[in-house]
Amino acid sequence: MTEITDTFIAPPCPDEIEILWQDAQMVMINKPAGLLSLSGKNPENYDSVHYRLLQQFPGCTLVHRLDFGTSGIMVVARNKSINAALCRQFSERTVSKMYTALLCGHMPEDEGVISAAIAKDPALFPRMTLCEVRGKPARSRYRVTGRFNYELPQRKEVPVTRVDLLPETGRTHQLRIHCQSAGHPILGCDLYGGKRRPGTENAPRMMLHASSLNIVHPENGTPLHIHCPAPF
């Protein structure tokens, strides 16, 4: 078996975590891009969403994660029983999430579904791979909200498509690899081709943001609809 060694060292993230909503049981935050969700095994990767929030909310736990380069809404439980109840909602797929992304190039279709199984491959770490034999089923819906030229640093303009992405499953790197498989990688996504097209190598971040989340409060049953617009 191929041994996996993670040599990634996260650069410092100067951006603050924004509190979008909170009560005595849970917290909704806006995670900045370039911040780990959980602290890494390497001591240099101590800074993370969880590390910072523990200072403000002792005993809190992350109900789910966002990739290092992804910004947007995250759900944080303030005790173990609330964490268990929220995790059940995620595992039972009763939580609906929407992401906003800028994709490289102009997608011809206005909406569609990407269905492709995703598998781990130690030889490709940290990237995932598409494999119908070994992979877990994964399905993502998308709808186009705009097509235009996006100005990057050094005044370079690149054609992009703004989309709403609605994952129906929650596999690792699902939206990133699905967009690549559709021929339009997420702008700035270094693992899945988002910096390979001319001009895109200057993208300052991965243009993927968790912009909307619908969940039910585990204690009182109130539907919670959280929205956080993308910064791009």
User: Which residues are known catalytic residues?
Assistant: 67
Q: Is 202 helix (H, G, I), strand (E, B) or coil?
A: helix
Task: Give the whole-angstrom CA distance, residue 104 versus residue 152.
Answer: 12
H or E element, residue 88 = helix 80-91
> Cα 50 vs. chain centroid, distance in angstroms?
16
Question: Phi, psi (5° rounding) for residue 94?
Answer: -95, -5
- Intra-chain end-to-end CA distance of the chain, in Å: 41
> What are 52's two structure tokens?
């910072």
Residue 198 and residue 172 in contact, taking contact as beta carbons nearer than 8 Å = no
Alpha-carbon distance of 101 to 160, in angstroms, equals 10
